[in-house]
Amino acid sequence: MVLQAMKYSRGKLEILDQLRLPHEEVFIDIRTVQDAWDAIHSMQVRGAPAIAIVAALSVAVCLSRCNRNGAWHERLEPDMTGSCLIIHSLRFLLTSRPTAVNLGDAVKKLEKVVDAAKVKAGATDFDINEAYIQAAEQMLIDDVQDNENIGRFGADWILRHSNLIPPVGKISVITHCNTGSLATAGYGTALGIVRSLHARNFLKRVYYTETRPYNQGSRLTGYEFLYDKIPATLITDSMVGALLGLKRESENISCIIVGADRVAANGDTANKIGTYGLANLASFHSVKFIVAAPRTTIDLSTASGAGIPIEERPPTEVTTMKGRPVKKLEDGSLEVEGDVQEIAIAADLTGAWNPAFDVTCYKLIDCIVTEKGVIERRENGEFHLDDIFQT
């Protein structure tokens, strides 16, 4: 069964708490806008598309309740009602995390829906709410469809640029962070491409980085690969150079595939911290470096990476770690037992710098895979991303 990290039906939204994975599978109810803000800020839900969809649907949940009971029940702003309250809630949600642009894009689109519904002759609050709910629900549906298309286009492109050595004819890839069902409405972006390669029997193995400090790789991507039985090997972030140096040929490593939190107009890409280093390694070892992102991640209003705000998170995410104790069995293997604990892993628990993202220069990126197709750099070495919005 496909991993479902978000459960939505009209008036009800539940999300899989990613802070507790892979140790516990617990769904939490998102009943209010404040619940959604807290879940995004604390990273119970994370990943650029997932953040946007949970935010959009949290308002839809409040509006469904409102249309049933006639009241919003959450006093973010005591005197506000109707469309003003919707806009206020969306703007509040925008403050939860700054780097991923998908949330900003969703807010802009939903504000337009509200404005259009408001000016319709005879429109009531009920009608405006209904228009909003339908638009937010459509975002959930579209995201899964977009990811499946990204998966297909990306896999086609990679296979065209790979050395499919007979008789096996399979490739290995490297990925970073978590870009799968947990980071989107379902299927995933970079991980969607991995899924598509696997489904078509072209994937020998995917190497995935631990992704310090929050460990999206070892905790979340590993969880998805186990769930989907995809052949996968965990490496620490610092092993990518050695992997490419020592095993590129024997493993037929074709590319590094990553997601994105914001792609600027020139193609500079903000993604999980560590991405920039991987792009340099890909360039040095002549493997393709691929960014997979829906158009909702492309921000034409930001000219280059210099304009992308980079979130800095608390030092304690670097200096501590959460996990379950292990016990050694007689045969030497390990078994987890006991409850999740937080442990210190640094001498100085406060003196760490923790930028959550870095920016990779467009010159290091071979292509950007969107739901509408693959964008390659032109002969002059530049990306022209506006074209993809014309199709």
Beta-bridged to residue 253, according to DSSP, are 172
Q: How far is the CB of 346 from ligand MRU (least distance, A)?
A: 20
219 DSSP assignment: I
261 carries an active-site annotation: yes
Q: Minimum distance from CB of 357 to ligand MRU (Å)?
A: 6
Nearer to ligand MRU, 86 or 385 (CB): 385
Nearer to ligand MRU, 117 or 278 (CB): 278
| Residue nearest ligand MRU (C-beta atom) | 259
Backbone region of residue 215 per phi and psi (left: phi > 0; alpha: psi in -120 to 50; beta: other values): left
- For 177-231, strand residue ranges (E) read 203-209
**Interface residues toward ligand MRU, by CB under 6 A:** 46-49, 100, 177, 179, 183-184, 189, 216, 259-261, 271-272, 356
Phi, psi of 44 (to 5 degrees): -65, -30
**Cβ closer to ligand MRU: 183 or 244?**
183
Q: How far apart are CA 346 and CA 4, in angstroms?
A: 35
**How far is residue 163's CA from residue 220's CA, in Å, rounded to a whole number?**
30
Q: What is the identity of the amino acid at 314?
A: P
Residue labelled with tokens 């899989």: 16
Shortest Å distance, C-beta 368 to ligand MRU: 13
Instruction: Report residue 286 as tokens.
Output: 């002549």
Neighbouring CB atoms inside 10 A of 318's CB total 19
Q: Are 72 and 54 in contact (CB under 8 A)?
A: no
Geometric angle at alpha carbon 191, from 41 and 219, rounded to 5°: 55
Using the minimum distance from each CB to ligand MRU, give the nearer residue, 261 or 371: 261
Q: How far is the CB of 313 from ligand MRU (least distance, A)?
A: 8
Which amino acid is it at 238? Answer: S
Tell me the backbone φ, ψ of residue 162, rounded to 5 degrees: -110, 160
Q: Pick the catalytic residue: 105, 228, 261, 299?
A: 261
Closest approach of ligand MRU to the CB of residue 376, in Å? 20
CA contacts within 13 A on the Cβ side of 35: 18
| Closer residue to ligand MRU in complex, CB, 54/90 | 54
Contacts of 75 (CB under 8 A, 6+ apart): none
- Among left, alpha and beta (phi > 0; psi -120 to 50; other), residue 183 is alpha
| Residue 60 beta carbon to ligand MRU: minimum distance, rounded to whole angstroms | 21
**With contact defined as beta carbons under 8 Å apart, do 49 and 185 qualify?**
yes
Q: Judged by CB, which is closer to ligand MRU: 67, or 316?
A: 316
Q: How far is the CB of 123 from ligand MRU (least distance, A)?
A: 35
28 vs 123, beta carbon nearer ligand MRU? 28
Bridge partner list, 272: 357
Bridging pattern class, strands 320-323 and 341-344: antiparallel
Residues annotated as part of the active site:
261
